Chain A
Amino acid sequence: MAGRILRELIHTRRTLWFWVLFPTLMLLLFGSVYAAQYGGMDRSFTRTSPGILIGAALFFSCLAGPLTLIVGERERHTIKRLLISPLSGTAYFLGVLWAHIIIAFGQAAIIYGITLSVGGGFRGNLWLGAMIIVLSVAAYAGIGVMFGAFFAKRTEDATGPVAAVGVPLLVLGGTFFSSDILTPFLLRLAQFDPIFHMNKAMRAVWIDGSRLSDVSDTISLLALMALISIALGAISYRTMLRTERMG
């Protein structure tokens, strides 16, 4: 499943280009905007990268990607073949997850490649950061599958939920600026935004060099969100199959 998803993306190329272009431009833009405030391009890019990776990059690839994938199965009628195949909902979802984890690490390599090229980098534990990326991908992918299964019948329907729900969550989650500037009310509201916790964990680990024991609460919360999201994704996929079967 993962191989098929990646092959399709490589053949079409366009989607992959956008998934590279968008976070790259956002990183260059926000890295430059905050350069004076943070005291240099290196420090600015280092501080901006985690938010851009989690918000700008993974949000669009790992949430919108599974969403359009599900809609695509329906539009291309391949869902009819999958319906009678031995492929389980869990296997399907794990394939989607695995493909998007690979994409996410590709995006991380590009973002941190740019950051390193201007003298920035990351400070904390590489593997802990990688774990946060995997948990974030899982959370996004589950929600993406759920949206695809329930709310988007056609490809053009997919952009609506992503823009209407996703972009405010990105902003509230502190993707493009530090959540320090949020009012107390917005900060309380942000606690319900999964992206806020993803950004918080990533910044703590790769900017401040926090260890697992320092961020265990946030990581636990992320793990819980990922589990809920995976469960929602698998249930949504099964529900969609039932709905499709009824014609």
Chain B
Amino acid sequence: MQRWTSAQHEESSAAWAAEAPRLPEIPGQLIFENVYHAYFRHTVAWIRVLGVPEAEIEDIAQEVFLVVRRKLPHFRDGNLAGWLYRIAQLTVRNFRRRAWFKNLFSRGQNLDATEVLDTSASPATALERKQDQRVLTQMLARMSDKRRATLVLFEIEGYSGQEIATLHGVPVKTVWTRLHHARKDLVAMVAALRKQREYEAGKS
């Protein structure tokens, strides 16, 4: 049984930081520890792409890997990344359902990823970035789940079309179609926003 070594861990971290993430291959028998260390960062990225607030991502990741630990012995399919992505999708769906009930009774407030401050920039730049993030998040929220996930995975997280196709379990052409429509939707929303701002500026 081959364990995930610290050297592999460092190598993976360096590769992730340097370039776009690659879906890892796990040689030999699947054991939970290896799956966890190979896919934790990907899972966190997927959970974020699926629209979970930043503050809840760790808890959801824990739930996802608890399910993985329980079901891994029964895993037979070859598409491990797709299987993990599906578990993340279902866990996020359950989380949203719970959050809906929780907000219904406690008037809870959803935390936003854009609330996280970027300390690397100057205050003015950080404020502008935060404003842009808020606008973009609102636009993404108005898109369908499939298009949004495809767009964010490709444009922001840096997954390739083939990898997205593997995760979603669809042909690559479907990914390009979704991406095309997602971009079109986003550009249309940006155009509408620009027109609205121009109208408001002219009015004032």
A binds B: no
Binding site for B on A (CB under 8 A): none
Binding site for A on B (CB under 8 A): none
